[in-house]
Amino acid sequence: MTSTRDQIIETTCNLLEMQGYHATGLNQIIKESSSPKGSLYYHFPGGKEELAVEAVRRVGDIVLERIQQNLALISGPAEAIRSFIMNIALNVERSGFRTGGPITTIALETASSSEALREECQRIYTAWQAAFVEKLRAGGISQDHAVDMSVMIIASIEGGVILCRTGRSRKPLEQVAQAIGEWVKHSL
């Protein structure tokens, strides 16, 4: 069944987000997902790298949906994006600063060591960017301007997550949320 496969992927998603790629061992994955090692290599013949690509793809798609749903809750782009970033801050805090930025660590770790993982991370960042572009365009911003702004938005969120986890505080992301909110509002 796909259930075993799914459980391995889900466990991998969580461990990769908390620990990163190189700190997460296959032994830990099979232990926490209660799956024997034989099954892992049956479902993912490419081993750790193939499994990680699959995990990154899954968590990336889930987060994309979450972005779209959150941005749809509030009509104005500025307030919608500000509110979305505030939510991230709360979630990072709630996890005890152990999660947040589900693909950030993997992106950095594997950017120059695994082409497959780098490409998958790049694909996801592009998809996330498109979701912000769509929201900004709906607010009347031009395509080119919306693309530039979305890069800035994603960069400041990713960096904000790093500062929150390092400083054990939700404040950096709250400051980012406020700054981005006002900046987008002023650009409308």
Residues in contact with DNA by the rule CB under 7 A = 1, 4, 24-28, 35-39, 41-43, 47-49
> Which residue reads 């779209």 in tokens?
68
Q: What angle do CA 11, 12, 16 make, to 5 degrees?
A: 125
Q: What is the per-residue binding string for a copy of itself in 69-98, x denoting contact by CB under 8 A? A: ---------------------------xxx
The residues in 7-66 that bind a copy of itself, with binding defined as CB under 8 A, are 18-20, 22-23
| Spatial contact of 109 and 20, defined as CB atoms under 8 Å apart | yes
Alpha carbon distance 83, 40 (integer Å): 39
Q: Which residues contact 150 (CB under 8 A, 6 or more apart)?
A: 129, 130, 132, 133, 136
Closer to a copy of itself by Cβ: residue 18 or 138: 18
**How many other C-beta atoms lie within 10 A of the C-beta of residue 110?**
24
With CB cut-offs between 5 and 8 Å by kind, which of a copy of itself, DNA, none does residue 64 bind? none
157 binds a copy of itself (CB under 8 A): yes
| Spatial contact of 106 and 88, defined as CB atoms under 8 Å apart | no
Closer to DNA by Cβ: residue 5 or 137: 5
Alpha carbon distance 164, 177 (integer Å): 13
113 binds a copy of itself (CB under 8 A): yes
148 binds a copy of itself (CB under 8 A): yes
Q: How many helices (H) and strands (E) does the chain have?
A: 9, 0
Q: How far is the CB of 77 from DNA (least distance, A)?
A: 42
Query: In the complex, which residues of this chain contact a copy of itself (CB under 8 A)?
Result: 18-20, 22-23, 96-98, 101, 104-105, 107-109, 111-113, 118, 121-122, 125, 148-149, 151-152, 154-160, 162-163, 165-168, 171-172, 175-176, 178-180, 183, 186
